[in-house]
Amino acid sequence: MNRFWGYLSAIIVALLFGVWFTLDKILLGYLHPLALAAMVYSIASIFLLCLRISPLHDKILEILHRESKVEIHISRRNYVTLVLTAIFGAVIAPALYLNGLNQITAVNAALLANVEILFIIILGVFFLKEVVKPKDILGFMFLLVGAIFLSTNNLQNLSFDQNLVGSLLVVSACFFWSMDTTLSKFLSNKRDIIFITGLKCGIGGLILFLISFYLGLSFTLPLKMIPLLLFISLFCMSFALVLIYLAIREIGSTRTGSIYATSSLFGALIAFIFLNEPLKASQLLFGVLMFVGILILYKNSDET
């Protein structure tokens, strides 16, 4: 049953990130991407650390952990790993991706971002010794193909940008995000994942703030946009990063990272509902294909 909650958590994470990236388009009309990321990570950190000292903390952890075996002690080595995940996933990766996005088309950037799935599989198999059976490959392929077609509008908008530097920056960002996911495996069995997630967001937010101040970026946001910023920070970011640890603990970083690819489908649905962007039947078809891939992985995991 724990595997079921792991897969469900991974799907919810993909949904929350799909909402996050889509609604960010609205706020990016007012803020530089680095300034926006700094604010989102910092607000999420404050919320999670306040939650840790609240009466709800222990009750939430009981629900999250259920029958799983978790460790209470957090060692000095764990803190080093935590700092690395914050630097890789909350600082370096966003900075590389945003700089690369400025040099290539958004479509190509979305396509290249799916390379993260392959990086996570490779790192999970070779460094974490996670087991991938031949039957799993079909599930991974369904997820990858669906993500590629969703990102490129059925390959109709695919073009090969000559700016190699921008493309390499996006691919490099994907590598650091995959490192973040892989290293999180070593923290996923800790009991106090709310504290771990809050600290990670705080480290990333602080560094991003320092970079933004150094670059002279503005943090001015209209009052009418504040509720949207709080929704993204308190709901999408906070819950997503906590559930990532739960998913990685129960089903491994390889499957969690692969299921994360469905965020492109959820992003398309949210954009259709809130931003009035077009949604084609073919996009829904490839979305279904991705969920078939998840079912294949889930079925195979039950056979182990």
Query: Mean pLDDT in each 10-residue stretch from start to end of the chain (304 residues)?
Result: 79 83 79 89 94 83 68 85 92 82 63 70 76 75 72 54 70 87 83 87 94 92 93 88 85 79 72 70 74 73 52
Answer yes or no: are the C-beta atoms of 193 and 248 closer than 8 Å: no
Pairwise CA distance, residues 122 & 106, whole Å: 26
DSSP symbol at 190: B
pLDDT at 275: 67
User: One-letter amino acid identity for 162?
Assistant: Q
Number of structural domains the chain divides into: 1
How far does CA 20 lie from the centroid of its chain? 10
Burial of 184 (0-12, 13-18, 19+ CB in 10 A): buried
Answer yes or no: are the C-beta atoms of 13 and 244 closer than 8 Å: yes
User: One-letter amino acid identity for 54?
Assistant: S
pLDDT at 304: 46
Q: How far is CA 159 from CA 38, 109, 111, 282, in A?
A: 32, 11, 10, 20
H/E stretch holding 245: helix 238-259
pLDDT at 88: 93
Pairwise CA distance, residues 274 & 271, whole Å: 5
How far does CA 136 lie from the centroid of its chain? 22
DSSP symbol at 26: H
Q: How far is CA 5 from CA 11, 63, 145, 176, 238, in A?
A: 10, 11, 25, 26, 18
pLDDT at 160: 47
* DSSP code per residue over 54-109: STHHHHHHHHHHTT---B----HHHHHHHHHHHHIIIIIHHHHHHHHHTTS-HHHH
Residue range(s) defining the domain that contains residue 230: 2-302
